[in-house]
Structure 1
Amino acid sequence: MPALRSNPLLQPAQPLSDRPRRHPCYYMPQGNVVIRVQNTLFKLDLSVLHETSRVLRIITPPLYAGKLRFQGFDDEHPFVLHETTEHEFVRLLWVLYPSNSHPFTAATVDDWMTILNLAHKYEMDDVCALAVARLHASQVDPIRKIAIWDKYHLDPYFLASSYVALCQRVEPLTLGMTMTIGLKNFTKLAAARDLYHQRVGADCCKRHTPGEKQVIAEEIVMQIFSRHAKH
């Protein structure tokens, strides 16, 4: 089992001078571990964290002999999560401890991005998969979606519709797009757009219906990105 102090994200707390507040929803009476994020205490069912996160399995529940604490984390000695904000952690808890008052189905794209980031950090595979599915089903700008998939090394199969949309986008590609999606993706996208415009010609020619243009873009994206994937 790795030492707690070896992980910069997870550190046992030192004596606290300022009194943190208990979270109104996620300081749970049935919880058996207290976690501090910024200046807020969360009391949670540790079994849920152990089941979903390989990283958080190093947290132990409190063990007492009378009033003497032998191990674990309580209000006076909470387990501190560093490099995470209260806002971010609460969004992750929406998924881990769902309730009628905080249904995660109402989460926005930015919320799911936060959830994906923390799930990736704490090695929560099932939560990552859920966040990816929700992001894929959401209306995410194609450039942003490509950047997300590239950052977290997600299945590029689900980017086909984004590349198809960008092939047909009238606006030219910009330097900012290169910075966002990376040079490799930008180069493939530029090649796909060039081939698309060669196939369909200028918009004023009206040689293809919108449906035909969609099919052409899909064929080109499959051709360009499948070819690059083999190398």
Structure 2
Amino acid sequence: MFTLPSGSKVPEGFNDEYPIVLEGTSVYDFRQLLRAMFCRPDIPGILSCAPPPTTFREWTSVLRLTHRWEMSALHLHARKSIAKLDGVDAVNRLSLALTYDIEDWIHPALADIIRREEPLARRHVDVLGVDMVLKLARAREHVAGYFGSCAKAPPNHHFFRLVSEVFPEYFFESTRQKIIDHAIV
């Protein structure tokens, strides 16, 4: 479709027999993107249709495509919508943060995973990969060794220091206050 004239060939998207093919895009994901774009009760003048995305899975589809196609306004809307959802597991938040470069989700998700009582499991490897789960286990061991339990709210500076030793790539002096503030909660 976006190449030189096709000569005698029927161009992609000309009719239903020659659709525009979006490589690597599922029908489900594209449908969620369209719902997010055109089924928006928050925008005056948009006709009501099917309800906009509401679930984690639906908004993750929107996030995936808006990131790929650099649709910044809708990408931000998807991020905000996911952030408002109740019950989104910290492992899933961390996965999205790392996949789609959502820096402000990384520290809170790391802190939540490290401090929670639930142990890491095989399903976490499926979501985050072996390397990240091993680093999380190491951070949990550091925190538990220092404080006696991961679930105890540790002093802010010690918690930050222990976690930043395991994840130096996510901790810079400018972001120190974010993780310290989150550790208080």
Which TM-score tier does this pair reach, normalised by the shorter chain? 0.5 to 0.7
Whichever residue aligns with residue 48 of structure 2, its letter is N
Contact 2:164–2:170 under 8 Å retained in 1: no
| Contact kept in structure 2, 1:109 and 1:135, CA below 8 Å | yes
Rounded to whole Å, the distance in 2 between the matches of 1:126 and 1:193 is: 36
Tell me, yes or no, if structure 1 residue 219 matches structure 2 residue 167: no
1:80 aligns to what SS in structure 2? coil
Aligned to 1:228: 169
- Are residue 131 (structure 1) and residue 71 (structure 2) matched? no
Q: Could you report, residue by residue, the CA deviation over 1:192-229 in whole angstroms, capped at 9, with x for unpaired residues?
A: 201110122158xxxx9x5x348588535753466234
Q: Match of 1:117? A: 64
In structure 2, the CA distance between the partners of 1:114 and 1:221, relative to structure 1 (3 Å rule), is farther
Query: How many angstroms does 1:110 deviate by?
Result: 0.9
Q: 1:87 to 1:157 in 2, by over 3 A?
A: closer
Shift of 1:109: 0.9
Q: Give, as a single letter, the amino acid of the residue that structure 2 aligns with 1:120.
A: H
Q: Give the letter for the 1:182 counterpart.
A: G
Which of 96, 110, 134 lines up with 1:187 in the alignment? Answer: 134
In the superposition, relative to structure 1, how do residues 12 and 196 fare at CA in structure 2: closer, same or farther (>3 Å)?
Answer: same
What secondary structure sits across from 1:12 in the alignment? coil
| Equivalence for 2:97 | 149
CA RMSD of superposed structures (Å): 3.7
1:50 paired residue number? none
TM superposition shift of 1:191: 2.4
Residue in 2 that maps onto 1:80: 20
Once the two structures are superposed, residues 121-168 of structure 1 have per-residue CA deviations (whole angstroms, 9 ceiling, x without a partner) of 33312222221222233231111222222222x133312222222212
Query: Take 1:85 and 1:133, find their aligned partners in 2: how far apart are those partners?
Result: 23
Give the corresponding residue for 1:12.
13
**Counting strand residues as a fraction of each chain, which structure ranks higher?**
1
| 1:92 Cα deviation after fit | 1.2
Q: Residues 174 and 15 (structure 1 numbering): CA distance in 2 closer, same or farther, change over 3 Å?
A: closer
Instruction: Summarize the Cα distance change of 1:100–1:142 in structure 2 as closer, same or farther, 3 Å threshold.
Output: same
**TM-score (normalizing by structure 2):** 0.64
Uncovered stretches (5+) of structure 1, i.e. residues with no partner? 17-76
| Pairing partner for 2:37 from 96, 101, 125 | 96
Q: Which runs of 5+ in 2 are unaligned?
A: 6-10, 41-46, 173-185
Deviation of the 1:4 alpha carbon: 7.4
Give 1 or 2: higher helix fraction.
Answer: 2
Aligned sequence identity (%): 19
Residue type of the alignment partner of 1:12 = G
CA contact (8 A) 1:94 1:102 kept: yes
Write out the 4+ residue segments of structure 1 that deviate beyond 6 Å after TM superposition: none
* 2:111 paired residue number: 164
- 1:41-84 Cα offsets, whole Å, 9 max, x none, are xxxxxxxxxxxxxxxxxxxxxxxxxxxxxxxxxxxx7x524454
Distance 1:177 1:88, change over 3 A: closer
User: Cα gap change, 1:172/1:217 in structure 2, threshold over 3 Å: closer, same or farther?
Assistant: farther
- Which structure is larger by alpha-carbon Rg, 1 or 2? 1
Is the contact between residue 196 and residue 220 of structure 1 (CA under 8 Å) also seen in structure 2? no
